[in-house]
Amino acid sequence: MKRIAEGEVQKAAERFIDYMRLERGCSENTAKAYISDLKIWFAYCKENGRDPLDINADAVSRFLILMQTEGRKKSTVQRAGAMLRSFAGFLQYDGVTENMPHLAPLPSRTKTLPQIMTEGEIQRIINACEDGTPLGKRDRAVIELAYGAGMRATEICSVRLRDLDATNGIIYTRGKGGKERTIPYVGTLRRNIEEYIHTYRPMLDKHGEEWLFLSKSGKALSRETLWVLLHKRGLAAGVPASRLHPHVLRHTFATHLLRGGMDQRTLQMILGHSSIMTTEKYTHMDTELRDSYDKYHPRAKYKH
């Protein structure tokens, strides 16, 4: 078995936790729990001479059984299984491994509705960016791109100026697994990005950078800075902190398009999903949200 340097393992773990915090929007408590679970997994692999980045069904099964025999709570074992599933998916996403392993399904848990913003909340966040500064214009362009094009945080931070075809209103990007795809950006989104590029970005570009979005220091925008700016503008707009994550903007984009009548296949192409089943979750999400509205809203029965 190929030996992986301990430093490489630690760096992969750190990138995974950053990914879960900044792109998947997990809470700080969940992040801390995942760090604890990772340490247990790494110790198990070291003791058994395994590569901790080689996550397969047999190894995960043995690991979880060991946790059970040690008397750990069922919820703790289930969380560790969920962490390893997410870690395996991240390693593929990050290019460390080539294929996602086929892991046994976890026991079902109580479903909770995903976080989605309203159109009014989106507009309030955008309005909160209008402070007349280059950073405010950058923040507005970032948020409008996340919501108006459904791009992931990593994709937004990786856009270069040459990736934009302003004539046709197209952005060329690489999604999960390095897959290339084109994303349309039109209307108000396009106008605001062009305004940012031509009027405000030059005020931030201190080093002749190629990236579309720049930090205050003139370097490429990081995922952490993207999360911070969304959090700052969202709180100023009165939006709950639990919804202030880049992936919530992407979920909102998809849900709003489905409500507007877009078919699933077109949405699948825009989001860059390799499987239609991944896209279908937004249909289920929208149905559940509507069912909850019908059940709890006092005027729902009068809507027809």
Q: Which residues are catalytic?
A: 152, 176, 247, 250, 273, 282
| CA distance linking residue 232 with residue 91, whole number of Å | 30
Among residues 141, 130, 134, 156, the alpha carbon closest in space to that of 204 is found at: 134
The closest of 174, 208, 210, 212 to 193, measured between CA atoms, is: 212
Work out whether the CA dihedral 283, 266, 169, 202 comes out positive or negative: positive
Q: Which residues of 16-48 are buried (b: 16+ CB within 10 A; e: fewer)?
A: bbbbbbbbebbeeebbebbeebbebbbebbeee
d(CA 245, CA 186): 23
